[in-house]
Amino acid sequence: MLPESDNPREACGVFGVYSPGDDVARLTFYGLYALQHRGQESAGIATSNGEDFSLRTGMGLVAQVFDEEDLAYLKGHIAIGHTRYSTAGGSLACNAQPIVVYDRETGDPIALAHNGNLTNVDILREDLEAQGVVFESTADSEVIAHLFTIAPGRTFEERFHYVMRRIEGAYSVVMMTKDRLFAMRDPMGVRPLCLGRLDGGWVVASESCALEHLGVPMEREVQPGEVIVIDEHGPASFYPVAPARKRAICTFEYTYFARPDSRIGGQLIYPAREEMGATLAREHPVEADIVIGVPDSATPAAIGYARASGIPYREGLVKNRYVGRTFIQPDQRIREAGVSLKFNALSDVLAGKRVVLVDDSIVRGTTTPRVIQLLRRAGAKEVHMRITTPPIVSPCFLGVDMATKAELIAANHSIEEIRQHIGADSLGFLSLEGLNRATGQNPEDLCNACFTGVYPLNVQMQLERLEAERGREPALAAAESLHRAGRP
């Protein structure tokens, strides 16, 4: 695998379509293609023709997993799709989604894809295993799926009531039965989910950009705590559980995860990131010659910083957008090159210049020093680091792979120590107030736990689980490597 990025990693993107007159597998492929930024480890599509399910999953990027033969196999008028990063459960082929399970009473199949993270998954898994459920993956998404197979109730509305009362945490879910498509969002609304109207059908997706790529007008966002069911009569909506005491939209959706052309909470992401950069310029001014951003997520913020400061914006880093996940190990020379596999610095732009470098976050502090070294080797006279989030001091348990507290550099070092570690001439983080204001949301509706350590629900069990999972990762990786090599 390529050297690990310092960026936090989102859990996944989900997509669903109900459209009797369309090639739903192809629509889902392109929907997932638009959501590729949300997960690059595995991808999958499940379809239903009203009687039977078809399923294809695999490790890698969307375009690597599917070909025309796969799409021809995936027949039907309902489809759900998923593209994944691992948070709960490792980066294993068995964890690729959608997950297909079978109803205990009727034997009917249920397919499910999930973006988020459950905080009470261990208790639920133990309870299900005690009832005879056999798990085929380590992902918490399978727990949600199996809860539906045992849920009491004569209607799916009653089943959703049972499931949503039992699960805790972040979940934006698409689910498919033989004749219906469901979309479910957790009562806190941590992860995004939206609904679009297709000619003769309906689409749900993690982000509105996936709808726009398909020419599908966005109808609205799925509301926190809402379930939408779509069948031949169109969509219907219900709320199985009482509203949450507070909403907790993930702030990182605005700073990093979502594409700049998506809307979350009614706010287009691009101007929100521009405003973060402008606020950074007001909070942490510096004399410099040019402003550059770490592509791609920090580019709008760098433009905002340049506009507010009056310092010219330039592109000083070029990103190799074809560098993605690979199982081919780099040799020593490439290892030493490190981040230069992903970025190249433009010496003609940077030489002799005092540079403001804007990025969205510093998590472990592993990639940022390499980027700054690239700029200095290209001739930058000074490098002033500006970050569009506050220091990250606590791990996330709601769908983001962000490291343990011991691995978070800001949890263990002062800003001055971080500045020295990354090799910058100065370092400034955006204030929490500035970040919240730039999102355009009520601060009470945002989750800022990674900056404050104040979580919207109890996460003690997840703290213990995260530490245990970190210890198991080397063994899981070794087992998967042997599996790919065809060895027992």
- Percent helix / strand / coil, the chain, rounded to 5: 35, 25, 40
Strands 53-59 and 42-48: antiparallel
**297 annotated among ligand-binding-site residues:** yes
**22 annotated among ligand-binding-site residues:** no
**396 annotated among ligand-binding-site residues:** yes
Give residue 465's region: left, alpha or beta (phi > 0; psi -120 to 50).
alpha
Q: What is the 3-state secondary structure (H, E, C) of 120-147?
A: CHHHHHHHHHHCCCCCCCCCHHHHHHHH
Q: Give the dihedral sign, CA 231/140/327/342.
A: positive
Residue 474: exposed, middle, or buried by beta-carbon count in 10 A (0-12, 13-18, 19+)? exposed
SS3 42: strand
Asked whether the beta carbons of 284 and 428 are under 8 A apart, the reply is yes
> C-alpha dihedral over 144, 150, 153, 155, to 10 degrees?
60
- Nearest of 301, 307, 320 to residue 430 by alpha carbon: 301
Residue found by looking up tokens 């085929």 in the block: 136
The CA-atom distances, in angstroms, between 345 and each of 116, 295, 366, 435 are 35, 11, 18, 28
Residues forming the active site: 12
Asked whether the beta carbons of 45 and 80 are under 8 A apart, the reply is yes
Residue found by looking up tokens 């107030």 in the block: 433
Amino acid at 392: I
DSSP H or E stretch at residue 184: strand 181-185
d(CA 485, CA 487): 6
**359 annotated among ligand-binding-site residues:** yes
**450 annotated among ligand-binding-site residues:** yes
Known binding-site residue numbers for [4Fe-4S] cluster: 250, 396, 447, 450
Residue ranges of the annotated binding site are 250, 297, 359-360, 396, 447, 450
| Residues in binding site for Mg(2+) | 297, 359-360
